[in-house]
């Protein structure tokens, strides 16, 4: 079966090639049977790839150590689950998993579109199969092509690059000639598509050849490559494997990589539909409505993968954190951010027929960022905790990015005339405008992560020095962006579509804002050592928010409000600090603010005035943050998260009340029954169920709030204590007392375990203690002569006690097995569990939003026709 | 065999507990150590690395604190001795300043761009509304003119009507 699996993989290559080009040929020649045949080829491809993937799993289960991949990632004692999940432990298997998923996705896509999108589907098939072909190429013939061409590499490479460039230029020339009608002959018009197809074929072939010729060394990416093929000098076949990297031997291995891959691969589908829409000039909303659930699906799995990764890092890396801004973590976060922006901005296209070009750009960049993620993981160009994924394939993925991005953007540029939107807005203060700002912030966040990730490479290229861009950078730069995003998330549902009026803004803002103010004040009092400072800071924050709101409501009131705010701030700082500088700075900023406010008030369109205002608010925020106030960003974050939460609760409350009244009218019942909980719950359930998309979205926002409350609180108030203890000695942290009970060293298959057991007591005061249980913290060594120090680093098993309030996190950081002395690092991490609960709520919301909705389908069909 | 011995040596190094050969407290060391990244390639912040490389570097910091050095001086020392890559974030000087400024500059420019785009779209919307209003007004005026003409005709006919 294993040998057949290898054969199947090679067989998939011509089948995929056929499935890519037959549908397009069918369109050109007007022959439907060609398209049908391409469809069957995709079904066959999915079956072949399933067989090949199962064959690799069987190879792991039957300990086929004659295969390099199995030898490198498994051994006899490896538990069943890790043998199965080892399929994606390394590069070759990950790539196979990638193509397998894409093959299966395409079967679903073909089934979903069996009676619709007949114009788009041939091109969707073409694009997805080209992507699949690329991945198949990297794990099948790429190394062989390289090896064969090694002797004549230089000449082959020159020829290949020349023909690649030539075919590329011909393609661009043909497209330009067509777009600008430079060649107007009937013959050209008639055969244009033939020329393009032939050009694309030549381009694709030479692209892959160029990639193969430029590879530094043959890539060991073939999943079924034998030891003999990889190491021709090897005389024997190993009877035991090297085993899975110990860091990967965690239950997270079963969830984190596949969910991430499912996300990455999933973005191929909306990307393929977008390009198909560009190719066919069918640039309405159909491609978006057809792929909305696929986008949500990919976004969901990418998000779930990220949360699983964070949970894994928390439990396995033993440093008490869950996110370290590692380049590979960043790589998954970037497409998630642009995907989030896309999910929001498509709503504007659906409702207002706007942002067509922007949506195209977003999905192109989301897909390219998915490729970039694979490039970062596989290239090893940046140090990462995921270095076990590095290989020589990075160049191939870089090449793919250089191919996909310019070609997609070029295609988009040639279609700009057909993408003209009805770009009209009724007001600057409208839901539509707030969505644009939301997109700016999400894409800005993605850019910031991208910038931080590539900055070391950029600086190295320019100056020869490679700096590190680690957590302190991201924690500084991303926090203001996140806060702005929280603010816009809070106010967005409160602003009406088209135009927000004075009346509805006041009505919508009053309750959630007041609630957030009360909670914010309570938090300020709770957080701050100096109450005066905290109240002052909070007052400043609210004053700024009030300024924005006043501007929104009536710009003429900005002047007096600004004057009051500045006067108040100046007096406060003068009294509180007694320092002249603290009086001058806000006074100066206030003067600029008042000036800009006047400019804005006089002329609403004054960009200069607005610019001044933004600059001043930023300046004031920087100034406030420089004051020695305890955790100003934490305070701002919790205030804004409360504001979002209050907004969402209000939305649910209002919706439930209306539905309750509606239900009552329908039932004919009279009278107000405020404590009729079953009916209220029924109304609440109906509210969500009758408009899954909208309320599913609000559930996701609730999850985001819970998650970021957990992140904010745990990263601010985490407490760490270290101690070196002898058996029987105790240490205290917060109200926990830990008694070091015993040390235990023993051997298990392929690992040496050094375990410490601590009794954990809770101090109830007045010398009262209650025992919570035992915390077992371990250091495990996995001696492996095949691996170096970094790969052989010990793994940590933390002792963990958790509740909704906090986690007690015990790490064994060192020990002496003779004296049984042990060093412990103990942390109390508050509210970490809310991060995982928030993740679960987000999953729930996404499921609600994705759930089949007959009413929504009808609405869409009525609006966009049967193709929706 | 050599590799195996090397691995065993590393394990032996790792199983020795952290010996505090310096007076600086763990908290003092962590406060400075969080400015650095471990230089063995594990990519962890220095306080989070529990391998021998992390212990060694924290030891260097501990000794410098014992010697009375402040945080800035230790950062300078580490920068000079282990090159720039040991700092967990780029310095805010020279070319590195671009790392800190660029995200906000790009977002600021994009924000201003979006402001102008929204304003232009709002104006386009207003213009269309005004044009529509003008069309409706012209249409109404035209209708009014026609109805006035009919009224006059009716009046004339009524006047001529023989009662």
Instruction: Specify whether the CB–CB gap between A774 and A757 falls below 8 A.
Output: yes
The set of residues, in sequence order, having a beta carbon less than 8 Å from that of A636 and lying 6+ positions away, is A483, A541
Instruction: Specify whether the CB–CB gap between A160 and A204 falls below 8 A.
Output: no
H-state helical runs in A184-255: 186-214, 227-230
* A289 closest CA partner among A362, A353, A381: A353
The CA distance from A36 to the nearest CA of chain B, in Å, is 45
Cα A217 vs. chain centroid, distance in angstroms? 32
Q: Above 50 in pLDDT, residue A229?
A: yes
Q: Which of A39-43, A253-257, A281-285, A400-404 has the lowest mean pLDDT?
A: A400-404
The CA distance from B57 to the nearest CA of chain A, in Å, is 15
Of chain B, the percentage scoring pLDDT greater than 90 comes to 8
- Distance, CA of A149 to CA of A145 (rounded, Å): 6
- How distant, in Å, are the alpha carbons of A270, A656, A732, A868 from that of A695? 23, 11, 46, 21
Give the pLDDT of residue A243: 82
Q: Is B132 on the interface with A (CB under 8 A)?
A: no
- Distance, CA of A112 to CA of A270 (rounded, Å): 14
Widest CA span in chain B: 132
- Going by pLDDT thresholds of 50, 70 and 90, the confidence category of residue A56 is very high
Q: Is B49 exposed, middle or buried (0-12, 13-18, 19+ CB in 10 A)?
A: buried
Contact B14 A467 (CB under 8 A): no
Q: Is the dihedral of CA A713, A717, A723, A727 positive or negative?
A: negative
Residues of B within 8 A of A436 (CB-CB) are 114, 117-118
Contact A451 B87 (CB under 8 A): no
pLDDT in tens, A240-267: 888 887 777 777 788 888 999 999 999 9
H-state helical runs in A718-813: none
Instruction: Specify whether the CB–CB gap between A197 and A254 falls below 8 A.
Output: no
Q: Mean pLDDT, to the nearest integer, of A365-386?
A: 75
Q: How many CB atoms lie within 10 A of CB A815?
A: 26
Instruction: Specify whether the CB–CB gap between A725 and A733 falls below 8 A.
Output: no
Which is higher by pLDDT, B24 or A824?
Answer: A824
- Going by pLDDT thresholds of 50, 70 and 90, the confidence category of residue B39 is confident
Contact B45 A471 (CB under 8 A): yes
Q: Is the dihedral of CA A42, A47, A50, A52 positive or negative?
A: negative
* A4 closest CA partner among A62, A50, A66, A41: A50
* A486 closest CA partner among A428, A545, A528, A536: A545
Q: Is B67 on the interface with A (CB under 8 A)?
A: no
**Helices A2-29 and A186-214, interaxial angle, to 10°?**
160
Q: Which of A1-5, A618-622, B10-14 has the lowest mean pLDDT?
A: B10-14
Give the pLDDT of residue A739: 92
Contact B10 A784 (CB under 8 A): no
Q: Mean pLDDT, to the nearest integer, of A595-622?
A: 53
Mutation to test the B interface, candidates A316, A365, A449, A467, most B Cβ within 10 Å: A467
Contact A385 B111 (CB under 8 A): no
The CA distance from B4 to the nearest CA of chain A, in Å, is 5
Give the pLDDT of residue B8: 46
List the strands of the sheet with A736-748, edge to edge.
Answer: A730-733, A736-748, A751-765, A768-781, A795-797
Q: Mean pLDDT, to the nearest integer, of B65-91?
A: 87
Q: Mean pLDDT, to the nearest integer, of A146-151?
A: 62
The CA distance from B72 to the nearest CA of chain A, in Å, is 16
Mutation to test the A interface, candidates B15, B20, B49, most A Cβ within 10 Å: B15
Q: Above 50 in pLDDT, residue B161?
A: yes
Q: Is A408 exposed, middle or buried (0-12, 13-18, 19+ CB in 10 A)?
A: buried
3-state secondary structure of A767: coil
- Going by pLDDT thresholds of 50, 70 and 90, the confidence category of residue A519 is confident
Instruction: Specify whether the CB–CB gap between A100 and A109 falls below 8 A.
Output: no
Q: Mean pLDDT, to the nearest integer, of A478-494?
A: 90
Give the pLDDT of residue A809: 93
- Distance, CA of A440 to CA of A564 (rounded, Å): 31
pLDDT in tens, A180-191: 777 777 777 777
Contact A383 B34 (CB under 8 A): no
- Distance, CA of A822 to CA of A809 (rounded, Å): 16
Q: Above 90 in pLDDT, residue A46?
A: yes
Mean pLDDT value across chain B:
77
* A75 closest CA partner among A229, A238, A252, A224: A238
> Chain B window 21-60: which residues touch A at a Cβ cutoff of 8 Å?
26-27, 30, 34-35, 37, 40-45, 47-51, 55
Enumerate the β-bridge partners of residue A680: none
The CA distance from A35 to the nearest CA of chain B, in Å, is 42
Which is higher by pLDDT, A554 or A704?
Answer: A704
Instruction: Specify whether the CB–CB gap between A593 and A568 falls below 8 A.
Output: no
The torsion of the CA quartet A546, A547, A551, A556, rounded to 10 degrees, works out to: 110
pLDDT in tens, A643-696: 899 989 888 888 888 888 777 766 666 555 656 677 778 888 888 888 888 899
Residues of A within 8 A of B14 (CB-CB) are 779, 781, 794
Q: Mean pLDDT, to the nearest integer, of A842-849?
A: 94
Contact A452 B112 (CB under 8 A): no
Give the pLDDT of residue A532: 57
- Distance, CA of A344 to CA of A607 (rounded, Å): 26
- Distance, CA of A457 to CA of B95 (rounded, Å): 13
- Which of the listed ranges A524-528, A820-824, B124-128 does the model predict with the highest average pLDDT? A820-824
Q: Is the dihedral of CA A673, A677, A679, A683 positive or negative?
A: positive
- Distance, CA of A632 to CA of A488 (rounded, Å): 19
- Distance, CA of A581 to CA of A770 (rounded, Å): 53
- Going by pLDDT thresholds of 50, 70 and 90, the confidence category of residue A345 is very high
3-state secondary structure of A557: helix
Residues of B within 8 A of A441 (CB-CB) are 107
H-state helical runs in A317-416: 327-352, 356-379, 394-414
- Which of the listed ranges A85-94, A382-391, A431-440, A625-634 does the model predict with the highest average pLDDT? A431-440
pLDDT in tens, A552-590: 555 555 555 555 565 566 555 555 554 444 455 555 556
Residues of A within 8 A of B17 (CB-CB) are 724, 814-816, 821-823
List the strands of the sheet with A799-802, edge to edge.
Answer: A719-725, A821-830, A806-816, A799-802
Q: Above 60 in pLDDT, residue A387?
A: no
- Going by pLDDT thresholds of 50, 70 and 90, the confidence category of residue A28 is confident
């Amino acid at each position: 079966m294993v040998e057949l699996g290898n054969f199947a993989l090679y067989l998939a290559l011509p089948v995929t090639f056929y499935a890519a080009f037959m549908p397009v040929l069918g369109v050109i020649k007007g022959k439907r049977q060609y398209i049908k045949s391409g469809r069957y080829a995709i079904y066959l491809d999915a079956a072949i790839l399933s067989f090949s993937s199962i064959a690799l799993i069987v190879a792991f289960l039957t300990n086929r150590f004659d295969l390099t991949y199995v030898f490198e990632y498994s051994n006899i004692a490896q538990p069943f689950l890790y043998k199965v999940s080892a399929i994606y432990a390394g590069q070759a298997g990950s790539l196979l998993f990638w193509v397998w998923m894409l093959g299966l996705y395409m079967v679903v896509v073909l089934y979903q579109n069996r009676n619709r999108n007949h114009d788009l589907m041939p091109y969707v098939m073409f694009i997805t199969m080209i992507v699949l072909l690329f991945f198949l190429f990297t794990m099948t013939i790429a190394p062989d092509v390289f090896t064969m061409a090694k002797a004549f590499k230089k000449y082959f490479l020159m020829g290949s690059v020349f023909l690649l460039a030539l075919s590329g230029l011909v393609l661009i020339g043909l497209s330009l000639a067509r777009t600008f009608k430079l060649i107007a002959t009937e013959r050209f018009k008639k055969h244009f598509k033939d020329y393009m197809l032939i050009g694309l074929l030549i381009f694709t072939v030479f692209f892959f050849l160029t990639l193969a010729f430029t590879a530094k060394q043959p890539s060991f990416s073939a999943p079924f490559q034998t030891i003999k093929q990889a190491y021709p000098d090897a005389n024997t076949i190993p009877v035991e494997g090297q085993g899975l990297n110990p860091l990967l031997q965690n239950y997270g291995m079963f969830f984190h990589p596949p969910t991430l891959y499912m996300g990455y691969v999933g973005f191929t589908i909306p990307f393929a539909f977008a390009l198909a829409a560009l190719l066919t000039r069918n640039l309405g909303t159909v491609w978006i409505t057809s792929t909305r659930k696929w986008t949500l699906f990919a976004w969901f799995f990418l998000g779930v993968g990220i949360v699983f990764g964070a949970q894994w890092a928390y439990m396995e890396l033993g440093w008490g954190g869950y996110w370290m801004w590692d380049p590979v973590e960043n790589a998954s976060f970037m497409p998630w951010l642009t995907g989030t922006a896309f999910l929001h901005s498509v709503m504007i296209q659906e409702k207002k027929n706007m942002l067509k070009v922007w949506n195209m750009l977003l999905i192109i960049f989301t897909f390219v960022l998915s490729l970039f993620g694979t490039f970062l993981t596989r290239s090893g160009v940046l140090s990462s905790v995921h270095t076990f994924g590095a290989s020589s394939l990075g160049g191939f993925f870089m090449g793919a990015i250089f191919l996909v991005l310019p070609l997609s953007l070029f295609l988009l540029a040639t279609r700009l005339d057909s993408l003209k939107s009805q770009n009209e807005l009724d007001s600057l203060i409208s839901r539509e405008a707030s969505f644009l700002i939301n997109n700016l912030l999400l894409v800005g966040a993605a850019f910031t992560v991208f910038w931080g990730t590539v900055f070391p490479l950029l600086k190295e290229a320019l100056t020869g020095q490679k700096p590190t861009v680690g957590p302190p950078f991201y924690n500084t730069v991303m926090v203001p962006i996140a806060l702005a995003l929280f603010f816009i998330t809070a106010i967005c549902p409160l602003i009406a579509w088209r135009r927000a009026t004075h009346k509805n803004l006041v009505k919508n803002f009053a309750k959630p804002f007041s609630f957030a103010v009360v909670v914010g004040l309570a938090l300020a009092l709770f957080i701050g050592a100096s109450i005066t400072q905290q109240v002052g800071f909070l007052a400043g924050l609210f004053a700024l928010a009030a300024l924005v709101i006043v501007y929104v409501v009536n710009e003429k009131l900005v002047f007096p409000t600004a004057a009051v705010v500045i006067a108040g701030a100046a007096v406060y700082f003068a009294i509180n600090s007694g320092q002249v500088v603290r009086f001058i700075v806000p006074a100066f900023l206030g003067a600029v603010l008042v000036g800009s406010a006047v400019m804005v008030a006089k002329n609403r369109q004054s960009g200069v005035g607005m610019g001044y205002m933004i600059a001043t608010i930023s300046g004031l925020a920087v100034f406030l943050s420089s004051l020695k106030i305890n955790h100003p960003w934490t305070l701002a974050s919790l205030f804004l998260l409360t504001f979002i939460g209050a907004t969402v609760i209000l939305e649910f409350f209002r919706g439930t009340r209306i539905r309750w009244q509606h239900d009552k009218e329908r039932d004919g019942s009279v009278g107000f029954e405020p404590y009729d909980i079953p009916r209220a719950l029924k109304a609440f359930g109906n509210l969500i169920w009758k408009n899954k998309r909208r309320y599913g979205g609000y559930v996701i926002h609730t999850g985001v709030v819970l998650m970021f409350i957990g992140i904010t609180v745990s990263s601010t108030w985490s407490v760490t204590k270290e101690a070196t203890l002898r058996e029987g000695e105790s240490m205290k942290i917060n109200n926990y007392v830990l008694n070091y009970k015993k040390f235990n060293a023993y051997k298990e298959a392929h690992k040496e375990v050094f375990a410490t057991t601590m009794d954990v007591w809770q101090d109830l005061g007045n010398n009262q203690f209650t025992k919570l249980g035992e915390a077992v913290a371990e250091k495990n060594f996995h001696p492996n002569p095949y691996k170096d120090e970094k790969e052989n680093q010990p793994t940590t098993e933390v002792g963990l006690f958790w509740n909704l309030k906090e986690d007690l996190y015990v790490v064994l950081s060192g020990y002496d097995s003779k004296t049984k002395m042990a060093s412990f690092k103990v942390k109390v991490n508050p509210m970490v569990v809310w991060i995982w609960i928030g993740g679960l709520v987000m999953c729930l919301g996404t499921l609600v939003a994705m759930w089949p909705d007959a009413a929504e389908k009808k609405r869409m069909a009525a609006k966009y026709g049967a193709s929706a | 065999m050599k590799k195996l011995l090397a691995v065993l040596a590393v394990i032996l190094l790792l199983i020795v507990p952290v010996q505090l050969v310096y007076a600086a407290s763990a908290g003092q060391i962590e406060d400075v150590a969080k400015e650095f990244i471990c230089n063995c390639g594990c990519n962890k912040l220095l306080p989070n690395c529990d391998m021998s490389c992390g212990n060694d570097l924290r030891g260097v910091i501990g000794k410098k604190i014992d010697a009375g050095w402040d945080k800035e001086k230790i950062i300078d020392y580490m920068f000079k001795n282990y090159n720039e890559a040991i700092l967990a974030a780029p310095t805010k000087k020279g070319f590195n300043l671009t790392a800190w400024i660029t995200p906000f500059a790009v977002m600021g420019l994009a924000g201003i761009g979006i402001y102008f785009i929204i304003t232009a779209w709002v104006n386009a919307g207003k213009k269309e509304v005004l044009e529509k209003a003008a069309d409706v007004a012209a249409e109404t005026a035209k209708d009014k003119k026609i109805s006035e003409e009919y009224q006059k005709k009716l009046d004339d006919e009524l006047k001529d009507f023989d009662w």
